[in-house]
Structure 1
Amino acid sequence: MSSKKAEARERVKAMREEQARRDRRRERTMRFGVAGAVVAAVAIIAIAVAASRGGDGPVAVPEAAGAGNGQEVGSENQGIMIGDASAPVTIDYWMDFLCPHCKEFHDRNGEAISQMVEAGDANIVYHPVTYTGNVYSTRANNAFACAADEGKANEFIDAAFASQQQWSTSTLVDLGEQAGIGGDYESCVRDDTYEDWSSNVESQAQNYDVTGTPTTFINGQLLPRTSQTPDGITSAVEAVAAGGDVPTPSPQGTQAPEGGQTGGAAGEQPSAQPTQ
């Protein structure tokens, strides 16, 4: 009788040990499964964040991004070109929509530049940066590209400089409505379609020693600050179109406009073409 009890106890012990092994295996499986699920969830979130930021995919580039002077258009580093790409002279203009000196430059020189562009004597490439307005300028730059896609770049420029402010998405949408910019402008502004493009344009400034705004180049030659006037810009465009250099005013020459900065010494020529 005692032998049978002993055998029974051994069987119970063996069953318990087997059950314990099964429980341990099940616990390990569950633990690994939870860990795997967490890793998968983290990976999915990372992919979603990357996708929302554009990841390593192509940067959205506004249709008006161009180099002028026969250069290839559509680069993600290029500014917005207005005018005929085959014009003999390209005015590269580095500016910030919240820069007060850029507003002064626009108010003083905008009409003269528009006349040269409309006549086909020059085109102008706007390179918007964020030196003054930071995130507010970034929003304005994106909206500028959205307006350019609708053929309303000039209208946006006029409206933006006429009402400089700390831009929000809503105020930029309202600005577009007031300026008569339709089409996909609103959705483009709200989606920050060209935010990455704006960052790429600004990253190129250091390649041309642009450290302040407004800074202007005429076919790659730096326009002296003292020449940032209608007569000065017109004379520079005419001289370069004739095969010459941007004139350097004498100390007794044209009086420098108030404010404004350039990305180098007056008359200094950059080592590279800003439009490339």
Structure 2
Amino acid sequence: MSKSEGATERQSKNARRAEAREKARQLRDEQRKREKRKTLLLQGGILAGVIAVVAIIAVVITTSAQPAGPGPRNMASDGITIGADYTAVTTPALAAEATPQPLPENEAGVVALNIWVDYLCPACGAFEQANADTLRSLIESGSATITFHPIAILSNQGASQSAANAAACVADRAPNSFFDFNELLLTSQPGDGTGWTDEQLIDFAEQVGASSSAVADCITEGDFDEWVTAATNRALAGPLPLRGTEVPSVQGTPTVLVNGDLYQPADIADPTEFQQFVLQAAGEDFTLNPSPAPEEGEEAPADE
């Protein structure tokens, strides 16, 4: 091999090595660029994930920090108490998730009835149909107070909840119309169990004198839906907000307590059975229809 040929071959090898080194450098540069892009993408993904998690946490915290609306006024015991002249006992609204407060005990000789009711419950309707006159007699004579606790426990809870919300609206906005509204719902139950429309509930309220726009708006907007759910859960879990009872919780509707004693009839539609239970729970000196007090100048009737 001549010197010139050897020089040419060395130059060719050097050129190939240089070309190879350049290609290697380019590959390394490209690899570094890919790694950098991956790192940036990874960091960006992590950052986006962190931002998303923070956003979710913020929403959860904000949502949980927003308390449910207060319950209806005049139902601080998770029920509204009706006394003489069909007048409701007034109480402030129950704060969200607050523990219901039992009302003070009645004075001697005045029976305390507590009734937990689902307005679409057929047994509740049967009880009301049979005992409406007795309940009215107890109120009109001043012999008893009746505390009504609307709840929603049926499988068709949407309809039950709407009715219970409507009852809470009347209790809050027109409490002295509650007794009549409660009776009208239970004696006008739809036979198919589908419940009532908002318009029908508003019409019922108007029929008993609760005709304000505040009542209508409360019904259509479901102001107390959350309260109905909470009150139902409290009733089912117990303890009941009632002094002097051994009944731990509501097991079904109607749940009727007379001076804390549970009414468990053989026939829910038998008015005589209910009257006898009231007399037994109230004591020997109690009468369902006490004689009216004599007017001034009149003598009390002599005992026979």
Relative to structure 1, is the Cα distance of residues 98 and 133 closer, same or farther in structure 2, using a 3 angstrom cutoff? farther
Determine helix, strand or coil for the equivalent of 2:120. Answer: coil
- More moved, 101-110 vs 221-230: 221-230
Q: Deviation of residue 123 (structure 1)?
A: 0.8
Match of 1:219 in 2: 259
How far apart, CA to CA, are the structure 2 residues paired with 1:132 and 1:33?
48
Match of 1:263 in 2: none
TM-score of the pair, normalised by structure 1: 0.63
Q: Deviation of residue 160 (structure 1)?
A: 1.2
Q: Contact 1:205 / 1:211 at 8 angstroms: preserved in 2?
A: no
> Is 2:205 the partner of 1:176?
yes
Q: Contact 2:150 / 2:164 at 8 angstroms: preserved in 1?
A: yes
Q: Deviation of residue 124 (structure 1)?
A: 1.0
How far apart, CA to CA, are the structure 1 residues paired with 2:29 and 2:236?
71
**Aligned partner of 1:87: which letter?**
N
Flag structure 2 segments of 5+ consecutive residues without an equivalent.
Answer: 1-13, 84-88, 90-102, 240-246, 287-304
How far apart, CA to CA, are the structure 2 residues paired with 1:130 and 1:201?
12
Encode CA deviations 1:58-107: one digit per residue, 9 max, x unaligned: 67332222xxxxxxxx24xx333222665342112233211233223222
Q: Contact 2:265 / 2:273 at 8 angstroms: preserved in 1?
A: no
Q: Contact 1:99 / 1:133 at 8 angstroms: preserved in 2?
A: no
Q: 1:141 aligns with which of 152, 164, 187?
A: 164
**Aligned partner of 1:64: which letter?**
N
How far apart, CA to CA, are the structure 2 residues paired with 1:209 and 1:32?
50
Q: How does 1:68-217 map to 2 (within 5 A)?
A: 74-75=76-77, 78-83=78-83, 87-88=106-107, 89-132=111-154, 134-135=156-157, 136-150=159-173, 151=175, 152-165=177-190, 166-167=194-195, 170=198, 171-181=200-210, 182-189=212-219, 190-191=221-222, 192-204=225-237, 208=248, 210-217=250-257
Flag structure 1 segments of 5+ consecutive residues without an equivalent.
Answer: 66-73, 246-276
How far apart, CA to CA, are the structure 2 residues paired with 1:243 and 1:6?
115
How far apart, CA to CA, are the structure 2 residues paired with 1:243 and 1:174?
43
Q: 1:28 aligns with which of 26, 39, 42?
A: 42
**Aligned partner of 1:99: which letter?**
C
- More moved, 124-133 vs 228-237: 228-237
Q: Deviation of residue 196 (structure 1)?
A: 2.5
How far apart, CA to CA, are the structure 1 residues paired with 2:227 and 2:30?
66
Determine helix, strand or coil for the equivalent of 2:43. Answer: helix
TM-score of the pair, normalised by structure 2: 0.58
Q: Contact 1:129 / 1:201 at 8 angstroms: preserved in 2?
A: no
Q: Deviation of residue 167 (structure 1)?
A: 2.6
- More moved, 101-110 vs 162-171: 162-171
- More moved, 171-180 vs 98-107: 171-180
Number of residues paired by the alignment?
232
How far apart, CA to CA, are the structure 2 residues paired with 1:101 and 1:12?
86
Q: Contact 1:94 / 1:216 at 8 angstroms: preserved in 2?
A: yes
Relative to structure 1, is the Cα distance of residues 214 and 25 closer, same or farther in structure 2, using a 3 angstrom cutoff? closer
Relative to structure 1, is the Cα distance of residues 47 and 172 closer, same or farther in structure 2, using a 3 angstrom cutoff? farther
